[in-house]
């Protein structure tokens, strides 16, 4: 449900029968996320995450951003690593233990998200929204987990050329579509950034009507 980086990764998913392949998939996600061309440091700076805050990394994959968030929020904060793939969560958990990080909670996403109501400063979603079938309903439901000042961060692939992998399989959502759907779900656009080469990057606040 949550990831789309390279065709090779999807081949691994299809043929994945063991832990070794799962770890390879996680490492490939992390390699892509940490690539300087994809501006991970600028992404984190733009978010403005602070010590003591709480963030959910929905679609945490190999955990690159999860672990970086955990280092920032410190012992007084908390990070929820959310994914549909239990093996990926095990990979993240093992890496967190190796780094001595005990402020990460693993959440296996099933039919409903299990997150603290009114407890999140941020929800972070990178390359995830194109996997969600009814995004307006999804984001309406997500509001209950946010603090009154909570924000939703969406990084999603820009529209792809027809004969690329993302273009053929629809693994992108235009920025204008995301902005409109978030409005329908009860959010307002706070910020947008244009420094990512392959993705658009927007941040949303919950409207005051609730």
Q: What is the pLDDT of residues 70-85, one digit of tens each?
A: 999 999 999 999 999 9
pLDDT of residue 169: 45
| Rounded Cα–Cα distance for residues 59 and 88 (Å) | 10
Identify the pLDDT of residue 172: 67
Q: Which of the two residues, 172 and 199, has the higher pLDDT score?
A: 199
pLDDT of residue 210: 44
User: Per-domain residue ranges for the chain?
Assistant: 7-206
The b/e string for 72-97 (b: 16+ C-beta within 10 A; e otherwise) is: bbeeebbbbbbbebebbbebbbebbe
pLDDT above 70 (res 16): no
66-75, 139-148, 155-164, range with the lowest pLDDT: 155-164
Confidence bin at 160 (pLDDT 50/70/90): low
Report the percent of the chain where pLDDT is more than 70: 82
Mean pLDDT of all residues belonging to the chain = 86
Q: Which residues contact 24 (CB under 8 A, 6 or more apart)?
A: 12
What is the structure's pLDDT at 171?
A: 65
CATH fold for the domain made of 7-206: Rossmann fold (3.40.50)
Instruction: Please determine, for residue 64, whether its predicted confidence score (pLDDT) is greater than 80.
Output: yes
Residue 141: other Cβ atoms inside 10 A: 13
Q: Which residue has the higher pLDDT, 31 or 145?
A: 145
Determine how many CB atoms are found less than 10 A away from the CB of residue 155. 21
Strands 54-58 and 199-206: unpaired
The stretch 113-123 carries a mean pLDDT of 96
Q: With b meaning 16 or more CB within 10 Å and e meaning fewer, what string describes 30-59?
A: bebbeeeebbbeebeebbebeeebbbbbbb
Are residues 56 and 82 in contact, defined by beta-carbon separation less than 8 angstroms? Answer: yes
């Amino acid at each position: 449900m949550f990831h789309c980086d390279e065709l090779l990764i999807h081949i691994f998913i299809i043929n994945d029968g063991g832990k070794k392949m799962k770890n390879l998939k996680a490492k490939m996600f992390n390699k892509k996320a940490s690539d300087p061309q994809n501006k991970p440091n600028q992404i984190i700076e733009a978010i403005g995450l602070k010590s003591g805050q709480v963030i959910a990394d929905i679609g945490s994959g190999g955990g690159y951003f999860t672990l970086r968030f955990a280092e920032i929020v410190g012992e007084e904060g908390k990070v929820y690593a959310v994914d549909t793939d239990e093996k990926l969560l095990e990979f993240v958990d093992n890496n967190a233990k190796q780094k001595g990080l005990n402020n990460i909670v693993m959440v296996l996403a099933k039919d409903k998200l299990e997150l603290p109501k009114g407890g999140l400063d941020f929800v972070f979603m990178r390359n995830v929204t194109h996997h969600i079938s009814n995004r307006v309903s999804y984001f309406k439901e997500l509001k209950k987990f946010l603090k009154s000042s909570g924000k939703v961060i969406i990084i999603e692939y820009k529209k792809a050329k027809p004969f690329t992998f993302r273009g053929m399989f629809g693994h992108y959502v235009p920025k204008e579509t995301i902005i409109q759907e978030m409005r329908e779900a009860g959010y307002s656009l706070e910020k947008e950034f244009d420094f990512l080469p392959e993705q658009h990057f927007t941040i949303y606040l919950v409207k005051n009507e609730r």
